[in-house]
Structure 1
């Protein structure tokens, strides 16, 4: 299959037009006409990731976070982004990013399913499809009212994380959950207006967390990578079902930082 044909499959799952205006998704490096026999899937296009893609003889690197976010003034080996672009080109690897367009459908729906949320609705509407409103995050209900402490245990199990950052009191009762797998500070207002009792997110700032808790909204931060690593197995399974004869390799799960 060509890179263009693979992209058509990716667009079926997460149309590029679903991405937020500030985002940069799609084919960021490479050739639409390139033949693709092997795909490497990761959250970030780091130097280490690209080296692994080279070792796997990948023709396409599929990432959640875009390699290129802002306009580039130079592409050379002294620039950390330029170096990665050159590394990709030298090894004939195209690079495609599915970021907020994936958050809108795949990431939000999968995270809600793992949390066993019911009666889910879009938290922040950003676009529309034939199926109805689409957008960032979900808001839904746990099967029963639980303490924040019990909700924390559910989050740890759902996203296979050992630690979370929490704003709120352990004994407060929660059932209506706002869920935002990426950065959650932009959806706090939406969560409060929707009557959420807890926001489960992949990233929250110190002051926003304090302010949310002061307004009665508990916050559980499971970590950006802790939640968004879901991208790798989800897209690996999707591509395995949609393609034939193409090697699909997901990067082993590993946090890009350490707690010491």
Structure 2
């Protein structure tokens, strides 16, 4: 398989359009048409990870964090980033990063944290804006059902747990074919009136290319009249963080013990304990201080995240317990998630979980 073919599978899990604007995701190093001998999955791509890929004869590294985050102006080997890129290029190793695209996936980073902690029926904590689009098109009545079915097959018309969702209305369309046209209906130079159906379907923005390809391929007209607009509706299936409940409520200290054990956390930095039971749990892998107001609003008893600054702990305001367990600790199981996903998609292929520990933070 080529790098391109493998990354298409990864983009089913986390379309690159899900990534935040500041991020740098996708293929960062290498040739998309290179044949892949095997895949090494890691949280961070460091020099020792590239060495591991070389030793194991694996030439595609799938990394959560991007090794290239800001622009590179030169490659001299002066920084660890430059050395990683140079070594990867010298050994024809491709590097692909997922980062916030996977953060925003409903089956991504935060779903894995919920799985590890036993948080059931989790929902997106902060739905991502402007990820729902609507297509409106017009088609002869006799072709409407066939066209709708092709749009459904391409991914349009899915709303939450419902599929094949659309709205149609009938009316009369008019057009006059020009001299160089090849009209399906009507005659050149004459205004034609046709009983048509207006079809409206919504779709995930990541499906836009597939939906439009289905429209153009299956619409009978030479020129297709259509509109695509971005909606302000919140998308409950894409976004940062998750919130749900644990099976049995716990005392705060009991919950902390469980949290440290299951997340392999050496220490928990936390806001003031409230002397309340813990039942509703919010999680956000990586730096998650921005989620504090939403977690409070949604009634979470605790928020598990990382990189909380001194003054940000005050934002708990006696309404929630903020737990900072470490950046690496919140994201460590992402590697397992990716290995499991790739193994299911491309069985009997060399896929390895990196043995390198890339956490830069040590505890005394």
Give the TM-score band, short-chain normalised: over 0.9
Alignment correspondent of 1:161: 265
Determine whether 1:152 maps to 2:154.
Answer: no
Match of 1:137, SS state, is: strand
CA displacement at 1:29 relative to structure 2: 0.5
> How far did residue 168 of structure 1 move?
2.1
Matched, 1:76 2:79: no
TM-score by length of 2: 0.67
Q: Tell whether 2:90 aligns with 1:90.
A: yes
Instruction: Trace 1:157-236 onto structure 2 (pairs within 5 A).
Output: 157-169=261-273, 171-209=275-313, 211-236=314-339
Would you say the 8 A contact 1:77–1:83 is kept in 2? yes
Q: CA deviation at 1:244?
A: 3.9
Q: For structure 1, which segment, 6-15 or 214-223, has the greater mean C-alpha deviation from structure 2 after superposition?
A: 214-223
What SS does structure 2 have at the residue aligned with 1:84? helix
Alpha-carbon displacement from aligned partner over 1:194-249 (angstroms, at most 9, x marks no partner): 1222101133222212x133342211122111121111111112111211442111
Determine if contact 2:122/2:242 at 8 Å carries over to the other structure: yes
State the Cα RMSD in Å: 1.8
| Count of residues in Structure 1 that have an aligned counterpart in Structure 2 | 259
Separation in 1, partners of 2:293, 2:343? 39
Partner Cα separation in structure 2 for residue 188 and residue 227 of structure 1 = 16
CA distance in 2, matches of 1:58, 1:220: 37
1:22-171 counterparts in 2 under 5 A?
22-105=22-105, 106-127=108-129, 128=131, 130=158, 131=160, 132-133=235-236, 134-169=238-273, 171=275
CA-to-partner distance for each residue in 1:28-61, whole Å, 9 max, x for gaps? 0010000001111111111121121221111101
Which 10-residue stretch deviates more, 233-242 or 35-44? 233-242
Indicate how the Cα distance of structure 1 residues 155 and 47 shifts in structure 2: closer, same or farther if over 3 A, else same.
Answer: same
Q: Is the 8 A contact 1:202 1:228 kept in 2?
A: no
User: Residue 140 of structure 1: CA displacement?
Assistant: 1.3
Gaps of at least 5 residues in structure 1 are none
- CA shift, 1:24, in A, is 0.9
| Deviating more after overlay: 61-70 vs 137-146 | 137-146
- Does the CA contact (< 8 Å) of 1:123 and 1:135 recur in 2? yes
TM-score, normalised with respect to structure 1: 0.92
Which deviates more, 195-204 or 19-28? 195-204
Unaligned runs of 5+ in 2: 133-157, 161-234
CA distance in 2, matches of 1:141, 1:237: 25
